């Protein structure tokens, strides 16, 4: 465990959702400006910038020039897909603790949603252009990320006896959180019957098992604990981190769908923080699908394997439950900005700024990121206490 813990001292979130006529770079620039201002700093105080972007956007290292940043000591693009936010925050933390930089901004932004196109269109393109051996997947009907996660979810459900209603309980609980989140895209009540009536996407996934598609940007500012003490915001300390990249192979004997990188990344982050799952007040879990949340909770150790479905159905994850999880509505009901979605909500809760949805005990949080088809995982353990 580091003798000193880096601190996240600011975050910025642009307007998210159906926001058209803007580019990823524009969203990113605004998110950085918002985060820096939130921290009580100026752009000239920034000496490190880490950029995360989906392929095909206009967001890249030139963001530094767009912002007028000069004399940076750290500048890089980081991409482990949805795991990137956690990994960027860890890299920034290591950099400021090692003296490689003093104040580093981590940013993600995206602009996939088009005014007259379906939400999944932007994410289908890469599958449709697969070449070589992978083109056999396309010929077999695997034309989107949804198909591949459906394969994982079906295997998980069949192996552990998890039901569709238990997946639905995740969607219902997160919608309940979103009702009191002013930035959430989905703020109408949702029942389990509503979930079952939602159209099928790919068996066993209904529409409400799948995350939103959002335009927008988010950024966080990481600095030294010494610098944090002089700033006006409540510092949130990065107590632990971990990452894992399982390299699943889709063949007989693989544990694809049953065990994820969370099983390595989570315990590593908790060990660095000197904590166990019993010390965690808030769980902000990457929920690209309802299934992903369940398997991550299990792999982190909040319950046994195959037990997260029952946990969700019990109401434990919902407002008023014993294990408040995805307290802003998550990617299913709030917004989808890769790993920045759970990170921003974790910071909001830890700083006591969540308003009506504020959780009473909010001293510690675990934040997850998942990238690819369960290919990458990043975990952060955050706390309002430095040690």
Given this model, what pLDDT does residue 119 score? Answer: 60
**Torsion angle of the four alpha carbons 28, 29, 31, 32, in this order, in degrees rounded to the nearest 10:** 120
DSSP 375: T
Q: What is the pLDDT of residues 171-188, one digit of tens each?
A: 999 999 999 999 999 999
For 32-102, strand residue ranges (E) read 48-53, 74-77
Q: What is the pLDDT of residues 307-360, one digit of tens each?
A: 999 999 999 999 999 999 999 999 999 999 999 999 999 999 999 999 999 999
How far is it, in rounded angstroms, from Cα 279 to Cα 189?
Answer: 31
| CA distance readout (Å), 383 to 6, 171, 327, 377, 387 | 11, 27, 16, 20, 8
Q: Give the largest Cα separation in the chain, rounded.
A: 59
Does the pLDDT value for residue 271 go beyond 90? yes
* Bridge partners of residue 282, in order along the sequence: 365
What 207-210 contacts at long range (C-beta under 8 Å, 24+ apart), as own/partner pairs, is: 208/168, 208/171, 208/290, 208/332, 209/153, 209/167, 209/168, 209/171, 209/289, 209/290, 209/291, 209/332, 210/146, 210/288, 210/289, 210/332
State the catalytic residues.
286, 336
How far is it, in rounded angstroms, from Cα 57 to Cα 23?
Answer: 8
pLDDT tier for residue 118 given thresholds of 50, 70 and 90: low
Token digits for 239? 């107590």
pLDDT tier for residue 125 given thresholds of 50, 70 and 90: low
Q: What is the pLDDT of residues 46-87, one digit of tens each?
A: 999 999 999 999 999 999 999 999 999 999 999 999 999 999
- Report the predicted TM-score, pTM, of the whole model to 2 decimal places: 0.96
Poorest-pLDDT segment among 134-138, 268-272, 382-386: 134-138
């Amino acid at each position: 465990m580091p003798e000193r813990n880096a601190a996240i001292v600011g975050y910025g979130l642009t307007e998210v959702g159906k926001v058209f006529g803007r580019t990823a770079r524009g969203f990113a620039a605004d998110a950085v400006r918002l985060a820096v201002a939130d921290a009580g700093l100026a752009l000239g105080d920034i000496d490190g910038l880490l950029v995360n972007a989906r392929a095909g956007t206009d967001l890249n290292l030139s963001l530094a020039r767009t912002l007028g940043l000069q004399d940076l000591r750290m500048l890089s693009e980081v991409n482990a897909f949805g795991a990137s936010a956690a990994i960027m925050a860890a890299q920034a933390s290591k950099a400021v603790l090692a003296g490689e930089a003093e104040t580093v901004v981590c940013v993600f932004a995206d602009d996939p949603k088009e005014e007259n196109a379906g939400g999944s269109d932007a994410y289908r393109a890469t599958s449709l252009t697969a070449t070589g051996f992978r083109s056999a997947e396309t010929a077999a009907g695997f034309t989107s990320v949804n198909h591949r996660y459906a394969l994982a979810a079906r295997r998980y459900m069949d192996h552990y006896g998890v039901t569709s209603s238990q997946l639905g309980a995740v969607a219902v609980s997160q919608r309940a959180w979103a009702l009191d989140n002013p930035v959430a895209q989905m703020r109408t009540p949702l029942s389990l019957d509503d979930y079952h009536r939602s159209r099928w996407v790919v068996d066993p996934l209904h529409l409400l098992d799948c995350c939103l598609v959002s335009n927008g940007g988010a950024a966080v500012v990481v600095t030294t604990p010494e610098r944090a003490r002089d700033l006006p915001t409540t510092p949130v300390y990065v107590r632990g981190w971990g990452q894992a990249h399982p390299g699943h192979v889709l063949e007989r004997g693989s544990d694809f769908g049953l065990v994820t990188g969370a099983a390595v990344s989570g315990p590593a982050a908790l060990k660095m923080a000197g904590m166990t799952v019993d010390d965690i007040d808030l769980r902000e879990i990457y929920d690209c699908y309802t299934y992903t949340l369940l398997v991550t909770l299990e792999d982190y150790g909040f319950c046994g394997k195959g037990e997260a479905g029952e946990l969700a159905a019990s109401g434990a994850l919902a407002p008023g439950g014993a294990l408040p999880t995805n307290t802003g509505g998550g990617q299913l009901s709030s917004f989808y900005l890769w790993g920045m979605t759970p990170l921003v909500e974790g910071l909001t809760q830890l700083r006591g700024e969540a308003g009506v949805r504020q959780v009473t005990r909010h001293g510690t949080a675990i934040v997850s990121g998942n990238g690819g088809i369960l290919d990458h995982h990043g975990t952060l353990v955050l706390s309002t206490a430095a040690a």
